[in-house]
Structures are given as structure tokens and as C-alpha cells.
Amino acid sequence: MLEYRKDHHTEQDKSCIGVVKRLPPDPNKLHSCYIHPFTEHIKAFIIILNIYDVNSFNKTQNFPFPDTTGIMKIDVGQGEDLWILTENYELYHWDGIERKFIRKAKDYGPIYDFSVGPDGLAVIVSRSPINNNVFIRSDIDSWEWIYGSDVRVPIISISNCDYNKIFTIEDRKLIVCNYDNAYSCDTLKYGIYNQISCAFNDKSLWFIGSGHYIYLYINKYIEIIRSEVPFKQIKALSEQHVIGIDYDSTLWEYINGTWTGISNNVKSASINYNDDIFYVDNDNIIYKISKN
């Protein structure tokens, strides 16, 4: 989780020897630190928490969205195949040609959750007076029903690996829908599931479970915990790569056992196949962080 660097520090780093550098409220202030209670035992080391300075990346604000309502969720498939869900439960898709957001699924709302796969498939969870329903996008303005439940049994999260495999959570049931000429949905397991994310690269399944900690689903008998603090949202790329937002609204990235702080004041985030991170801050500004 932490990088230990010995005898490799600048003059600025020397001011923080024996202290822990923490993710500051302002991401531009990278050298905030406080006195560690075990200073006398670690004088030979600098303990540095990995963080990114968002100003050193491609910081983009050219995804204009009307400020009449807030953005509740953002998700992306390939490239800039960007979708957002508003606090009014309306779904919008980014048109990369006209450079504007276009409302989708107007006749299927209100929309309570959605997901975008690496193949571009969009999946939504909507609610009618009597049912909760899962639809996949089948044409420019058409959506195909694949699963439903009684309105009293909420469908609280959805994630699609691709067209052939979709996961959803119905109350305390983890459900998988597989495609073989038609969709067939079955219960995998009963348990505490708050949000799920199927990884694009290897189709591993991550979820936020009991205590809002992050887990990696192995099978119905094995689930591996991957966080020591609670999270409210995740998006997975593989069984060794996920991003998540904790309850302090800090965006983190997990790669091969290391958690790295990305940014503060984050409401929702997603990551695409190219490792580009898209996130919405609490002022409803959309950012893109490109590593390449």
C-alpha cells in the first residue's frame, strides 16, 4: 500500500523525513505532512503515499452538460463512449461528433442504474409502478427487456462484462444473465451486495459488500476482501485493477496490491480500456485523466 524509498529524496522531501505524506484536501498541495508517532524508529525512510497531481495529466472540461441538474453517475466503455445518469434519473449519452449530451431512454424512465460494456452495450435499470426492469439498448432509440422483478424487490446495481454476460443485484440476490440466442438469468448467491462491477479485461467480478468494503468474487464459496476502508462506488478493469470512491469522496486506483490516491471531491468515476479515468466532481464538472 505504501512505497518505501531509501536515500532518494529532494530537498523538499527532506523536510518530511520521518513523517507520513497524506492525500491533502487540495490535490495541488502534494507535500502536506504530519508527525508520525513512530518517528524515532523510521528516520532512515521516507514514507510516501502514491498520489497523482491531476494538473500533470490531460485535465479536460470539454464535456458540456446543462447545469440544471446534478450528475449522479458516470460510466464509459471504449474511448469517450461516455454515459451519465442525472439526479433526476435521466440518462444521457455523449455524442462525440456533435460534442454534446443526448438524452436516451426517455420512455423507459425513471432510470435508477446503468452500465456500459467494452463493446458499447448499454444496460439500464428502470422502474414502473409495478415492476423493476432491466433493458439492453437494441437500436438508436429502442431498448429490449431481459429481466424484471416486483417493484417491492429493488434492483440496486447492474454491470455488464459484454453482450454475453450481465450481472445485477436484486435485493440480496446476486444474479447473472447469460446470452445464448436469448438471455437466461439465474441466481448465483444470496448475500450482502451493494454494488457490482464486471472487469472488462478478464471478466472478474468485484463488488461492494458487507460493511461497504470491496471484495473480489471467486465463486459462491470464496470472496476475497480487497479494501480496509468502506467504499461507495467501484469500476473494475481486471482482478488486479479497479478504481473506487471512498466515503470521504476520494478517488482511488488499485493496481497489483497498491492503492493510489487520484483526486478529492469526487462524486462518480469510471475507467475505460485505455486506462483513461473519467470522473465527476461535486460541482458537476467532468474530468478526463489520460495516463498515456
Number of domains into which the chain is organized: 2
138 pLDDT exceeds 70?
yes
Instruction: Tell me the CATH number at 153.
Output: 2.130.10.10
Instruction: Supply the pLDDT for residue 69.
Output: 80
Answer yes or no: pTM beyond 0.95: no
CA pair distance 255, 275, nearest whole angstrom? 11
Whether 32 and 85 share a structural domain: no
Residue 175 confidence (pLDDT) above 80: yes
132 and 246 in one domain?
Answer: yes
pLDDT of the residue at 62:
52
Residue 93 grid coordinates = 449519452
Single-letter amino acid code for the residue at 116? V
Q: Residue 258 in contact with residue 25, Cβ under 8 Å?
A: no
pLDDT band at 133 (very low <50, low <70, confident <90, very high): very high
Residue 19: pLDDT over 50: no
Same domain, 139 and 63: yes
Cell of 61: 472540461
Over residues 67-78, the pLDDT tens digits come to 668 999 999 999
More confident residue, 21 or 97: 97
For the chain, percent helix, then strand, then coil, each to nearest 5?
5, 50, 45
- Please check the confidence at residue 2 and state whether its pLDDT lies above 90: no
pLDDT at residue 262 is higher than 90: yes
Question: What average pLDDT does the chain have?
Answer: 83
Q: Both 83 and 38 in a single domain?
A: no
- Please check whether residues 258 and 195 belong to one and the same domain: yes
Question: Which has the minimum average pLDDT: 12-16, 116-120, 245-249?
Answer: 12-16
Judgement on whether residues 147 and 201 belong to the same structural domain of the protein? yes
Q: Is the pLDDT of residue 201 over 70?
A: yes
30 and 62 share a domain?
A: no
Cα–Cα dist 116/49, whole Å? 32
The 10s digit of each residue's pLDDT in 210-233 is 999 999 999 999 999 999 999 999
Query: Which residue range forms the structural domain that includes residue 25?
Result: 3-49
Half-sphere exposure of 95 (CA within 13 A, CB side): 9
pLDDT of residue 128: 87
Do 69 and 43 fall into the same domain? Answer: no
The one-letter code for the residue type at 70 is G
